[in-house]
Amino acid sequence: DEVLTVQRRIYGLENEYGTSIMRDYRPDYVPYREYQRRIKESTMRTALIQAAQQSWSTPMKNPRLRFVKRDEASFSAELSESQKMAAQLEPQIAGIYQLLQLGEADRDQEKSLRWKVGYDLAVGRVLATKVRTETYNAMLAAAKRGLNPENEKSNTWTLVPANEITVGSQYSKAGEKARQLLESVVEEHPGTPWALLAKRELSNPIGWRWQESYTDLTPP
């Protein structure tokens, strides 16, 4: 739906650039049976269609980012409670990503620009969402093991979106792969709706960092 919405905007541009670019990304206007046959012949196309048919797990909605440390017990309890949202989403997102990975074998043989860019964008976005969710959980888990404040008066910790990932090399590698996929969509398919969606995804940092501050626990 997002691709179609942005695509309509591009088709609506009154200039030859947008129109000429999109000619190379035309859908397969063939009978239904032929369309199904072409999908089944490609593991990449099959994986993309099956992933699209999955119930999409939206990114975490309004995850808690600010934690005030009144005492060790309540601080740990609040962190654990916030981890539950990420823990529920992680297996769903991982399942969609694993499904998309099945199509990687046929990706380089794909001749259709529309199918190829659609696959690359899907993998990049799902992987970025996967990393954001898992690193959120990992950052909270690390905080329960102890945080080292730069200021001894700090008692408040806020998760701030950041491009650096400090909780595991596996997350750093996955985050870099997501960025590379999305950047390739932007560079190799300029002026297309897929490039616009990739830019939108890239504008959201993939990792997190802690920002410390002080909260007066005994205000007048």
Mean pLDDT on 197-217: 95
Retrieve residue 80's tokens: 């654990």
pLDDT per residue as tens digits for the range 111-164:
999 999 999 999 999 999 999 999 999 999 999 999 989 999 999 999 999 988
Residue 19's pLDDT band (cuts 50, 70, 90):
low
pTM score over 0.95: no
pLDDT at 14: 37
Q: Which residue has the tokens 């001749």?
A: 111
Neighbouring C-beta atoms of residue 26, cutoff 10 Å:
10
Task: Spell 58-88 as b/e; 16+ CB within 10 A means b.
Answer: eebeebbeebebeeeeebbebbeebbebbee
Residue 123: name the closest of 137, 141, 140, 110 by CA: 110
The share of the chain scoring above pLDDT 70, in percent, equals 88
Give the whole-angstrom CA distance, residue 125 versus residue 164.
18
Q: Is the pLDDT of residue 202 over 70?
A: yes
Q: Is the pLDDT of residue 80 over 70?
A: yes
Give the whole-angstrom CA distance, residue 191 versus residue 7.
10
Neighbouring C-beta atoms of residue 208, cutoff 10 Å:
24
Range with the poorest average pLDDT among 2-6, 155-159, 200-204:
2-6
